[in-house]
Structure 1
Amino acid sequence: MIERQAKDLHFSRSREPIPTVEVDMNSIPDDLFGYSETVVTSLRALAAASPELRATIYVYQGQSINFHTPSWSAFIGVDGPVSFLKLIHHEFEGIPGVKVRMSDYIHPSQGLCEFHIEDGKVWRPVDAVTWHAEDAAVKNVVEDEWGNEPEAEQAESDDEGPEGVGARARTPGRLRAARGDASVGRIRRKIEEVFGLPEGSVALCGPDGQALRADARIATLRKRWG
């Protein structure tokens, strides 16, 4: 992960309401663990291809009847190029069973600042003063070890999405799921090997900040955090 101080990022905060994509939270498959990873996946390709673009994404959560039944929805608003909004909608639209729509406008002050696009990366907050973005090299190592999209599915995932960006959106949670038999130690050693780091210098931590055991399996961690 790459970290940057919040004061060094150039956040957008419009004085006018911004458009949103609304997602019924209860319709998101359990294996996606909410909306965050899907949002990041939808934004990453265009952000990397156009590093000059900037946008800040605010999320408001609340009750809604926009899907003709009471629901708890996330309203994901983009303060920036509309291309990013279309990509978010397209990504969720491709997940079977997810209820999603272009929705109401919100004012940035109504939501939480949860994502930011700058310098070709998608940033997320670590705490009140620090944000982080995924290092592309580390991402490639993890995908190599944990498994990526099956080859039979890659042709379908290369379909053109909005603005000519490939949209890997058919069944993202399942196609990009990590292999359950992969171990923390194996991933850790691979990262050390690729970056030429001393053995034992890399630690993979859980949501509580504690280092994970080397023999921990991905399937076990999924159950624990699910």
Structure 2
Amino acid sequence: MRSALSTSATWLRKEASAALIAGLVITGAWVIAAALAPLLTPYDPIAVNVVKATLAPSADHLLGTDSVGRDIFARVLYGARIDLLMAVAGVIGPFLLGTLVGLLAGYSGGWLDGILMRILEVTISFPYFVLVIAIVAIIGPGLTGYLVSLTVVNWVTYARLVRSETLVLTNADFILAARVLGYRRRRIMLRHILPNAIVSSSVFLMTDAVLTVVLGSSLGFLGLACSRRRLSGAS
């Protein structure tokens, strides 16, 4: 029985490693392709050429052209630039703000924890997508409005994850030992609690990066997304 369980655990680890390597290879390939977009295609992703509309894939147009003659392969490469930018930049602000709030609330407790959690509850009580649209509409369409709206709305998830981990770690033996040794509060928070408290939020960050791209696509459908002309670098 033990041998079977050991074999199963070893197989799962190998499968997890293979999946991780495959994911890193695919992500790395997309990053490289997006960075080298001007070298991989000579076409402007937003240039209209109705004479070449709806062409089939060929040596000149690897994925063909759309209904107004734009090269689809060029649009995929330059679109990957925007998606990667939204995925990375869209999670940095919420992650940093949420981690700071969760760490302070969980370690400090008392009135500060109460105030921060009430702010969190008020933020989370609004419909997520509606609040994002409202903030983008106030600031204006574009990358700035998109990033600000995500930071204002999306920090709550990271704050809750970090706070819950901090509450558990605060009473851990190694934290109590650090207090007895007279370590400063800032040192305990940043060097002992924070590295252990951000593990779960770091895992969620990977999933959240994908969700931010989906959100950006939804905003683009409503005319509130980033300007592809300004970000493509091909105009």
TM-score normalised to structure 2 length: 0.18
If each structure's helix is expressed as a fraction of its own residues, which one has the higher value? 2
- The structure with the larger Rg is 2
Q: Greater strand percent: which structure?
A: 1
